[in-house]
């Protein structure tokens, strides 16, 4: 059972307050008790030392020494003892002989009797200091001193002070100490109350079990959703993140790390820096295309930070490209079916009309033009993935009335180790080149693709017949969102291609912006993308 369940009706902050006050009371009480004990001990020692000094002075008096040696009771000894008692406010001054018989006592009837408290140590030549004993006059703090005559002990002097006087002084000091203790208690209680108030304000009045439940719920939500979540504070330091965010961004997101030290997309940094709401922003992270949403968080007009969510659009883009390829293939097959049907109808009509020579000539013409369709690249490219990609792009170019051809020096006899990276780089470069060629003034529109293997490194070059890259875009061509296309959602292809190439230790760059006799020339270097010769 949790500790807070022991007090189900009492708030945790109140429990803390009562506990703190209880601790303060206990500490103050123990302090007062300790001080009282020390005060009593000190005062007892002081009274004992005072009694010892008086007893020494009396024991050194020649009259007392002579009277004790002669065992004379009363008389001068009684006078001396009463005078010292009156002058020192002592409870008693008692003089005895070496047989412990009283020679002087405040009560005359006690003279000549045996002392009530033994004085063996004093008669043995030792001084007794601060002894609390009960005698005929009550409990007192007393000291005893031997009376020497030469080298012989002839008696002893006992001086005592009433314990009530000691107790009175102790009580006065305890009262004074208690006043300070009460002040300390009030101060401690006040500090505890302020701390309790501060605790309520910091926790917004939530109980510990409620805070625990909130923590569990936060962890469940953060790590249970399929989106990446990243929260930064007002100083742009990471405060909250989940595993999905680290996976999508491809970088560790340690709590407390400044956003500037993370390898994030410029678009993401800009979204956080501006503090404006962002919806469905496309950004590149590694080889992924992410959809980013951003919201600034405020509380009572005070900025608390920014929360970003990430969704992976890479799979969706892959499916979209595959669907486009299938659609293009379907359209091509449909066009071929219609074309084939039209040719059959024409041939059937010629035969029905008896124009056999014309039908034979028509068949010969169809046989010669059938090879115009896109064919596999043959022995120049051996990898099946590259062959399929080139056939698909060639069909796509033909559909748009353009030509995609391989350069004369193209030669790749090795197998591709990462078809996805190869498709990302080559596919995006060819797509951009086809678009540029179609939008350019030169006809026929064409794109030339060069592929060359150098060990395990694949070199790619793509040149189009378009107008070239405008000078205003050359320095930022590979930035996210930069595109010559007017439709929204573009500007990610080149950025993705560069990220994929750099992930393999290579790069993609603009070798020639074009604009003269040819269009732009893009070059890519992909180390480690090839293995041994394809079988």
Q: Tally the residues of the chain.
A: 535
Handedness of CA 375, 381, 387, 391 (dihedral sign): negative
C-beta separation of 155 from 85 below 8 A? no
DSSP string, 245-300: HHHHHTS---TT-BGGGS---HHHHHHHHH---EEEEEEEETTEEEEEEEEEEEET
123 vs 252: CA distance, rounded Å: 90
Angle (deg, nearest 10), helices 419-439 and 384-399: 20
* Per-residue CA distances from 484 to 8, 399, 431, 435, 494 (Å): 68, 22, 13, 10, 12
Per-residue pLDDT tens for 286-315? 667 777 788 887 777 777 788 888 877 766
Identify whether the C-beta of residue 389 lies closer than 8 Å to the C-beta of residue 423.
Answer: yes
**Strand partners of residue 13:** none
Order of strands, sheet of 138-149, starting from the edge strand that comes earlier in the sequence: 102-104, 92-97, 152-162, 138-149, 128-135
pLDDT at 487: 45
Distance from C-alpha of 521 to C-alpha of 514, rounded to nearest angstrom: 7
pLDDT tens, position by position, 168-181? 666 677 777 777 77
What is the distance between the alpha carbons of residues 357 and 26, in angstroms, rounded to a whole number?
Answer: 123
Q: What is the pLDDT of residue 242?
A: 79
Q: How far apart are CA 435 and CA 494, in angstroms?
A: 13
State whether residue 490 is helix, strand or coil. coil
73 token code pair: 């009771």
CA distance 278 to 293: 5
SS3 121: helix
Q: Tell the residue number behind the tokens 């030469």, with chain if given.
A: 150
Predicted confidence at residue 523, as pLDDT, reads 92
Which residues in the chain come in under a pLDDT of 50? 1-7, 370-372, 486-489, 534-535
The token duo for 134 is: 């009960």
Other CB atoms within a 10 A radius of the CB of residue 118 amount to 12
Question: What's the pLDDT at 459?
Answer: 92
Query: Which residues lie below 8 Å from residue 231, measured CB to CB, with a gap of 6+?
Result: 238, 239, 240, 241, 297, 305, 306, 307, 308
CA-nearest of 450, 441, 376, 360 to 409 is: 450
The Cα 87–Cα 64 span in angstroms is: 17
Strand stretches in 40-194, DSSP E: 92-97, 102-104, 128-135, 138-149, 152-162
Cis preceding-peptide flag for 414 (omega within 30 of 0)? no
Tokens 């004074």 -> residue: 176
Find the radius of gyration of the CA atoms of the chain: 54
Cα of 190 vs its chain's centroid, Å: 33
pLDDT at 318: 60
| Res 535: pLDDT | 45
């Amino acid at each position: 059972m949790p500790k807070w369940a022991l007090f189900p009706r009492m708030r945790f902050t109140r429990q803390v307050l009562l506990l703190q006050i209880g601790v303060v009371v206990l500490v103050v009480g123990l302090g007062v008790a300790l001080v009282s004990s020390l005060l009593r001990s000190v005062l007892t020692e002081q009274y004992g030392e005072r009694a010892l000094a008086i007893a020494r002075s009396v024991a050194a008096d020649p009259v007392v020494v002579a009277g004790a040696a002669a065992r004379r009771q009363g008389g001068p000894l009684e006078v001396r003892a009463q005078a010292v008692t009156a002058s020192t406010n002592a409870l008693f001054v008692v003089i005895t002989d070496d047989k412990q018989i009283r020679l002087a006592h405040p009560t005359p009837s006690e003279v000549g009797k045996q002392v009530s408290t033994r004085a063996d140590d004093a008669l043995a030549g030792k001084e007794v200091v601060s002894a609390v004993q009960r005698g005929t006059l009550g409990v007192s703090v007393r000291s005893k001193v031997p009376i020497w005559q030469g080298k012989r002990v002839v008696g002893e002097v006992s001086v005592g002070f009433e314990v009530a006087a000691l107790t009175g002084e102790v009580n006065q000091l305890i009262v004074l100490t208690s006043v300070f203790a009460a002040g300390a208690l009030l101060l401690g209680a006040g500090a505890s109350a302020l701390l309790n108030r501060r605790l309520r304000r910091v926790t917004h009045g939530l109980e510990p079990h409620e805070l625990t439940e909130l923590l569990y719920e936060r962890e469940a939500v953060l790590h249970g959703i399929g989106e990446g979540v990243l929260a930064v504070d007002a100083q742009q330091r990471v405060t909250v993140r989940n595993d999905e965010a680290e996976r999508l961004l491809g970088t560790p997101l340690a709590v407390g790390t400044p956003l500037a030290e993370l390898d994030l997309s410029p678009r993401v940094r800009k979204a956080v820096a501006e503090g404006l709401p962002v919806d469905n922003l496309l950004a590149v992270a590694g080889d992924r295309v992410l959809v980013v949403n951003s919201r600034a968080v405020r509380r009572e007009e005070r900025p608390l930070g920014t929360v970003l969510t990430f969704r992976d659009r890479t799979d969706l883009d892959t499916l979209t490209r595959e669907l486009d390829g299938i659609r293009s293939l379907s359209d091509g097959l449909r066009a071929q079916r219609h074309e084939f049907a039209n040719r059959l109808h024409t041939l059937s009509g010629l035969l029905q009309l008896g124009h056999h020579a014309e039908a034979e000539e028509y068949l010969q013409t169809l046989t010669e033009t059938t090879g115009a369709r896109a064919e596999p690249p043959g022995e120049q490219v051996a990898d099946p993935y590259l062959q399929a990609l080139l056939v698909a792009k060639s069909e796509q170019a033909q559909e748009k009335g353009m030509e995609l051809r391989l350069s004369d020096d193209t030669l790749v006899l090795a197998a591709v180790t990462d078809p996805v990276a190869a498709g990302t780089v080559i596919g995006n470069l060819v797509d951009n080149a086809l678009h540029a060629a179609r939008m350019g003034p030169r006809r026929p529109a064409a794109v030339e693709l060069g592929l060359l293997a150098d060990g395990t490194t694949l070199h790619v070059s793509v040149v189009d017949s378009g107008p070239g890259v405008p000078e205003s875009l050359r320095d930022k061509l590979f930035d996210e969102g930069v595109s010559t296309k007017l439709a929204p959602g573009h500007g990610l292809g080149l950025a993705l291609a560069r990220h994929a190439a750099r992930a393999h230790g290579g790069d993609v760059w603009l070798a020639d912006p074009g604009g003269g006799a040819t269009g732009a020339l893009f070059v890519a270097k992909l180390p480690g993308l090839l293995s041994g010769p394809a079988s």
